[in-house]
Structure 1
Amino acid sequence: MRFWRRARHAVALSGGCAFATLLSLQAEPARAFDLSSLDVFGLFTKKDEPPAPSPSALPYKLEFDLGEADDAKALTRSLQDASLLYRLRQDAPPDGESLSRRMATDLNPMLDALWSQGYFNADVTLIVDGVPLKVGAEPNATLVRVLEAHRNRDAVPITVVARPGKIFGLRRIDIVERDESGSPAIADAVKVSRLKAGDPATAAALRAAQAALVDHMRAQSRPLAKVVELRPVVDHAAGIMDVTYVLAPGPLAGFGDITVGQTDEIPPEVVRSFIYLEPGDPYSPKALADTRRSIATIPAVGSVRLREGDKLDGAGNLPIFVEVTERPKRLLGFSARYSTIDGPAVKTYWEHRNLFGGAERLRLEASVFFAPRIDGTKIQRFGDFKESDLGGRFAFSFMKPALGGSRNDWLLDGVATRERVGLNRYGGYTARYGNVTSAIRHRFSDTFSVQAGIEVERGQTSDVLGQVDYTLVGIPLSVKYDSTDNLLDPTRGFRATASFTPYPTFLGSTVGIYQTKAAVSGYYALDEDKRYVLAGRVGFGSISGASLDEIPATRRFYAGGGGSVRGYAYRSLSPLGPFRQITGGRSLLEASVEARIKVTDTIGIVPFFDAGTAFESSLPDGKQKLQMAAGLGFRYYTGIGPIRVDIAAPLNPRKGDKPVALYVSIGQAF
């Protein structure tokens, strides 16, 4: 808080005067983590209890007296944060002289803390047994004697008497540009600063305004923009502050040469292929953020640093320098999920992120999950459990990014599964199958890509419509658009995927079908801090070319489950066939809407509504009614994504549907 300290003497001379620049105002340096601060449950130490009296040291205890200040609790916290006495209260000084010096050193920082909150008429005094120490005064012999009188007797009682006075408000806000040769860089600079007359004149507000002004100019393709001067003037008698910002917008510029520097063992051409900036493009902080996020999608990349040049090149553009660090090459992990309807599931996985030195990723997964019974029998006791009550899945995926340095990636995926899906009351299906898909993905940008490949699947399914032994050979085609800001917890943007896969008999398929899928989701933050987010999703599917009983059960459409219509069992919503057993459908329609509300920075609630079902025909019709559900979710936000707990209830349940379902997983529902 050096700004406040330098300004103090100037303010004392007159009711209104110019302050030194706020640009020197800095946050307190980070301190090492102190276990003694964990006093909520008293696990380590009672931090407000001073050390025991001794002949060789002078322990002390602090009390804060804020009088009748309206925000006394918050101001006390600010004073404690600024106080060296408070931070070192467990480290007793050896004598009264040392303690008095520590007290004198503490006065200016605590006064700074009050000034930074807009209390420019504040007064802070330290008192020991009636002897005061004021700002600007030197410790005297009387104070030292009073301190020494407590040696080996008790802790020195130090009272911090703070009288904040009234909080100062802003009156006049002027924002001027140093270079007025052309049109102004900011049409309504005061609006951009978000400062308003009458607002508290706090250091945080002034810093935020400065950052907003610079960010706005940089967003207008002015990378060298800065605030060169800040002139706050305080009128103590009126209790107000006038403030003037002097801006240097700098010239309009584009991106210059983009240099890929350090990449560890990742080939530079791979990193380059995920950069979509071109020299000459208008400078944009958003484009830089998108580039950083794009490079970070390379599995081998651990961190990305984009450094801007400090001056423009000969063409008036700003050079950009890219550096990345590599993540640990190998990963071994474990995950679990649970639903009161679908049961438990566990998964283990292993991954290598730079298999052959070209940033190739190989991932192996194995999972075991509960296979619900669909034959009318129940598990009453442990002895009823059979091997067939478990399902299993093994999968591998391989990605070779940036083939030949291009924007084409080779994807190879395979899976072998044994599963049983459905409900005892409505039946379901059993399946065993293996699938291998190879595809080339072309990335047009960090948001848009297309993909084409070949797929082979062979398996067997069995349900109420009979057994289907099948082979499918298809050509999957897909497009993907994703402008969201976060993979696991998006707050803005859209996601859209669409795919079409023909499985013609002339390629070797035993049943000729044509499958179409599409899904769109959108996210909109209602406030700048993204504490209130509306999210919606619509999904569609269709199969044509064969009758329902010829299509493998795994390829038919179903709704229900934690990622579909919550409140209903996984893949349990579909048309009913013989014996009122689910058969799956040839089309699908489902939708969800959520309100994601952050109560605190780490806790959130999510009221939601889901609807959907599968239809017998190749397009949704009115013969099958939509099943609907509503519920309330709870989110715990972590550094890797939100932990999701959803409680859902069917709104128009079928006979046999459970009244409530619980889902636990990582990441949002969509």
Structure 2
Amino acid sequence: MIKVLNIIRRSSLIGVLGGVLLAAASLSSAAEEYRLSALTFTGNHSFSYRALSEQMITRVPSPWKRLLLGKSAEYSELLLQQDVKTLTAFYQREGFIDVLINRELAFNDRDQTVAVNLVIQEGKPVSLGRIEHHFAHDSSSRPYLDKVFREERGKLAVSRGQRFRDEAIQQDKTALTAALSNNGYLYAQVAVKPSLRESDYIADLLFEINQGPLCRFGPISVTGNHRTDSSLIVKQVAFKPNDRYSQEVVQRSQRFIYQLGLFQYVTIKVSTNESHHHVLPVELIVKEAPRLTTKLGVGYGREERLRFSGDLRFLNALGGGRSLTLTAKHSKLEPYNILLKLIQPAFLHPGAFLSLSPFSRSEKEPGFSIKRYGADFSYQQRFSYYTDGSVSYIYERDRLSVSEMTIAEALKNQDIKLYNKSSVTFGWVNDHSYPLFQPQRGWYHAATFTLTGVGLQSDFHFLRWIFESRKYTKLMEGYVFAVRAKIGSMKPLYEDKVTPLEERFYSGGSNSVRGWGRSMLGPVSSVNKPLGGNSQAEASAELRYPLYKMLHGVVFYDIGNVWSDYLTFPRSELRHAGGAGLRFQTPIGPIRMDLAWPLGEGKRSMQVHVSIGQAF
């Protein structure tokens, strides 16, 4: 029987030879005129069809591609032979060292097709036995190393009795190396020596760890900065000279410096040498962004119609790394929106921002129009790479335009058209989704809590909270299943009887329950104008799949509604919608068109939504 380590090495050689066989496969395609009608596996007890087919070049196109694009796969004997070798190597890396894979081919001469069945005899898998970790002798650092190892041990993937998996072993090797590197041992090396007990199908693992010398950060220098003071950049660094070296701290410091918003790129160079010197000088290399930048944008959405935006940004305004940004927008829903934002980065702590944002904007919604002007004073703190928190104080003066009927039905005959609002909002976001514009994996959670009627004189007093979660799951290459849930509620406080129209919840539209028009799901007036509500619940599910090159499709299901009262979410009043859409991928997100129908609502018209970006 072959030693486990030799199997892994031999598998890698098979992968190299695969490239040569791929080239040869194209030469034989002319003689192989059969097309692949089916690909199946039998005997694959440990791995699914999907897991095995993803290892292969030979594949049967998805039903969507066969139906819509007429795609089919040519049968290649050479490629199939290579796939058998690749699958054999895959099984061996997963601990099945005696695996045998045979082919069963069923030719249909009339249709010129062939069905392929791969018969797999997995055999007995190799299990893990003793797992030992040996450090190089160093009595002075051994107590600290033992502490590091104890903290990391619970995170390791391999354990006694598990099936031998090369990927898990390499994962633990990488994790141990990273743990040592993050605790001062930059030059740590980890070697894994497997030993196979052939008769028992058991492999013992020995992790030999040479931690090397304990390293510390040396002096810090800055290069590439011409307008930005070096002391501001150094303040963002999460370490000091003589601190233990940590790669994780280096990466965190790089993020802090980049978050200043002053640089096109940031590099932290830690000087090492062949003699493994334990004091590591650090050089912060930056390239400053242009001091003045302008951005112009134009877009289209079925709800907003044509929209225009302009952005003027001035870096290092007033010194101290501050930035000043003037933003202007125009669309059907926002005839004008002007915002001036002054940001003070690294306020009290790296990763913290203080901002002052005076604004003036006009909004036109189906149920009302409003003009607002005021200021937003905010503090934002980044707690980790994925988590942000914020607290904001907003004071604004609003002028509401609304029909007399809406005043009677929504505001209980209170003639409230010119008023002040003074609010404090707490926000929290935890975003593990990626990639940025078109998430395929991970989750997103957000919560906001607003209390209005504090601070300066406010004509409205209310409490509002909102929670939202999203989950993205990549099913296979190009296929993503996305779900979203959102719930919120609000109520007037003190002697107030109503909440302001512009702060209420509204459902329906391209980013809501798509079977209804914008804001048209929920309470409406006697002339069918949306009144909004004080409680909202929504959920959506989407399957996103590839069609042709940059064109993707989606099928979706939405559910939700809005209710007038606080903490009111009757399940019997939830409304349902379903539909399908197209997405054309661009670097800044997809161009989106959705067709949606209300479900169980009798004869209601189809809704068409055109916009940019995913619905969620």
> Same fold, TM exceeding 0.5?
yes
Query: Percent of aligned pairs with the same residue?
Result: 16
Q: Is the 8 A contact 1:461 1:554 kept in 2?
A: no
Unaligned runs of 5+ in 1: 1-15, 26-62, 74-116, 119-162, 196-208, 231-243, 372-389, 423-427
Q: Report the CA distance between 1:615 and its aligned residue.
A: 1.6
Q: Report the CA distance between 1:558 and its aligned residue.
A: 1.3
Q: Residue 538 of structure 1 is aligned with which of 486, 502, 506?
A: 486
Q: Is the 8 A contact 2:519 2:530 kept in 1?
A: no
Change in 2 beyond 3 A, CA 1:357/1:165:
same
Q: Report the CA distance between 1:555 and its aligned residue.
A: 2.0
Q: Report the CA distance between 1:478 and its aligned residue.
A: 0.9
Q: Is the 8 A contact 2:544 2:552 kept in 1?
A: yes
| Correspondence 1:394 to 2:338 | yes
Query: 1:350-399: per-residue Cα shift (whole Å, max 9, x none)?
Result: 2223323433232222222225xxxxxxxxxxxxxxxxxx8332222221
Q: Is the 8 A contact 1:468 1:550 kept in 2?
A: no
Q: Report the CA distance between 1:659 and its aligned residue.
A: 0.5
Q: Residue 456 of structure 1 is aligned with which of 393, 396, 404?
A: 396
Q: Is the 8 A contact 2:492 2:499 kept in 1?
A: no
Letter in 2 for 1:461: S
Q: Residue 287 of structure 2 is aligned with which of 311, 325, 334?
A: 325
| Correspondence 1:304 to 2:266 | yes
Equivalent residue number for residue 351 of structure 1: 313
User: 1:276 and 1:658 mapped to 2: Cα distance?
Assistant: 58
Equivalent residue number for residue 586 of structure 1: 534
Q: Pick which of 439-448 and 308-317 moved more.
A: 308-317
Q: Residue 223 of structure 2 is aligned with which of 262, 284, 290?
A: 262
- The TM-score, its normalising length taken from structure 1, stands at 0.57
Q: Report the CA distance between 1:400 and its aligned residue.
A: 1.5
Q: Residue 664 of structure 1 is aligned with which of 587, 594, 611?
A: 611
Equivalent residue number for residue 202 of structure 2: none
1:458-477 equivalent positions in 2, closer than 5 A:
458-463=398-403, 464-466=405-407, 468-477=416-425
Letter in 1 for 2:424: P
- The TM-score, its normalising length taken from structure 2, stands at 0.61
Query: 1:59-108: per-residue Cα shift (whole Å, max 9, x none)?
Result: xxxx99965379999xxxxxxxxxxxxxxxxxxxxxxxxxxxxxxxxxxx
Equivalent residue number for residue 417 of structure 1: 361
Kindly report the root-mean-square deviation, in angstroms, between the aligned alpha carbons of the 2 structures: 5.2
Letter in 1 for 2:377: S
Q: Report the CA distance between 1:518 and its aligned residue.
A: 2.0
User: 2:390 and 2:472 mapped to 1: Cα distance?
Assistant: 25
| Correspondence 1:492 to 2:438 | no
User: 2:361 and 2:572 mapped to 1: Cα distance?
Assistant: 30
Equivalent residue number for residue 4 of structure 2: none
Query: 1:628-651: per-residue Cα shift (whole Å, max 9, x none)?
Result: 333334445554x42241414132
User: 2:210 and 2:234 mapped to 1: Cα distance?
Assistant: 31
SS for the counterpart of 1:554 is: helix
SS for the counterpart of 2:512 is: coil
Letter in 2 for 1:332: T
Q: Report the CA distance between 1:326 and its aligned residue.
A: 2.4
Q: Is the 8 A contact 1:255 1:281 kept in 2?
A: yes
Letter in 2 for 1:336: V
Change in 2 beyond 3 A, CA 1:533/1:623:
closer
Equivalent residue number for residue 507 of structure 1: 456
Q: Report the CA distance between 1:552 and its aligned residue.
A: 3.1
Q: Pick which of 182-191 and 359-368 moved more.
A: 182-191
User: 1:164 and 1:508 mapped to 2: Cα distance?
Assistant: 76
Q: Report the CA distance between 1:514 and its aligned residue.
A: 1.8
Letter in 2 for 1:489: Q
User: 1:290 and 1:177 mapped to 2: Cα distance?
Assistant: 32
User: 2:492 and 2:340 mapped to 1: Cα distance?
Assistant: 29
Letter in 1 for 2:395: E
Change in 2 beyond 3 A, CA 1:579/1:454:
closer
Equivalent residue number for residue 68 of structure 1: 28
Q: Is the 8 A contact 1:575 1:624 kept in 2?
A: no
Equivalent residue number for residue 439 of structure 1: 378
User: 1:288 and 1:468 mapped to 2: Cα distance?
Assistant: 55
User: 1:665 and 1:258 mapped to 2: Cα distance?
Assistant: 48
Which of the pair has more CA radius of gyration?
A: 1
SS for the counterpart of 1:516 is: strand
Q: Report the CA distance between 1:311 and its aligned residue.
A: 7.2
User: 2:31 and 2:219 mapped to 1: Cα distance?
Assistant: 51
1:630-641 equivalent positions in 2, closer than 5 A:
630-639=578-587, 641=588
Change in 2 beyond 3 A, CA 1:262/1:654:
farther
SS for the counterpart of 1:577 is: coil
User: 2:566 and 2:495 mapped to 1: Cα distance?
Assistant: 10
Q: Is the 8 A contact 2:135 2:208 kept in 1?
A: no
Change in 2 beyond 3 A, CA 1:468/1:477:
same
User: 2:252 and 2:478 mapped to 1: Cα distance?
Assistant: 19
User: 1:281 and 1:525 mapped to 2: Cα distance?
Assistant: 39
Letter in 2 for 1:502: T
Q: Is the 8 A contact 1:66 1:72 kept in 2?
A: no
Letter in 1 for 2:448: A
User: 1:261 and 1:477 mapped to 2: Cα distance?
Assistant: 38
Unaligned runs of 5+ in 2: 1-6, 17-22, 34-54, 57-77, 96-127, 138-145, 194-204, 408-414
SS for the counterpart of 2:590 is: strand
User: 1:400 and 1:527 mapped to 2: Cα distance?
Assistant: 42
1:649-660 equivalent positions in 2, closer than 5 A:
649-652=596-599, 658-660=605-607
SS for the counterpart of 1:507 is: coil
Q: Residue 643 of structure 1 is aligned with which of 573, 590, 596?
A: 590
Q: Report the CA distance between 1:546 and its aligned residue.
A: 7.4
Query: 1:482-521: per-residue Cα shift (whole Å, max 9, x none)?
Result: 24254433432433232222215x8311x33123232332
Change in 2 beyond 3 A, CA 1:280/1:181:
same
Change in 2 beyond 3 A, CA 1:283/1:618:
same
Letter in 1 for 2:346: A
1:123-522 equivalent positions in 2, closer than 5 A:
167=82, 170=89, 188=158, 193-194=166-167, 215-222=174-181, 224=187, 250=211, 256=217, 259=220, 261-262=222-223, 264=225, 265-268=227-230, 270-271=232-233, 283=246, 292-293=254-255, 295-308=257-270, 310=272, 322-370=284-332, 391-403=335-347, 408-422=352-366, 428-446=367-385, 447-463=387-403, 464-466=405-407, 468-486=416-434, 487-490=436-439, 491-504=441-454, 507-509=456-458, 511-522=459-470
1:103-114 equivalent positions in 2, closer than 5 A:
none
Change in 2 beyond 3 A, CA 1:580/1:603:
closer
SS for the counterpart of 2:502 is: helix
Q: Is the 8 A contact 2:517 2:607 kept in 1?
A: no
User: 1:530 and 1:318 mapped to 2: Cα distance?
Assistant: 44
SS for the counterpart of 2:335 is: strand
Equivalent residue number for residue 559 of structure 2: 611
User: 2:235 and 2:615 mapped to 1: Cα distance?
Assistant: 31
Q: Is the 8 A contact 1:635 1:642 kept in 2?
A: no
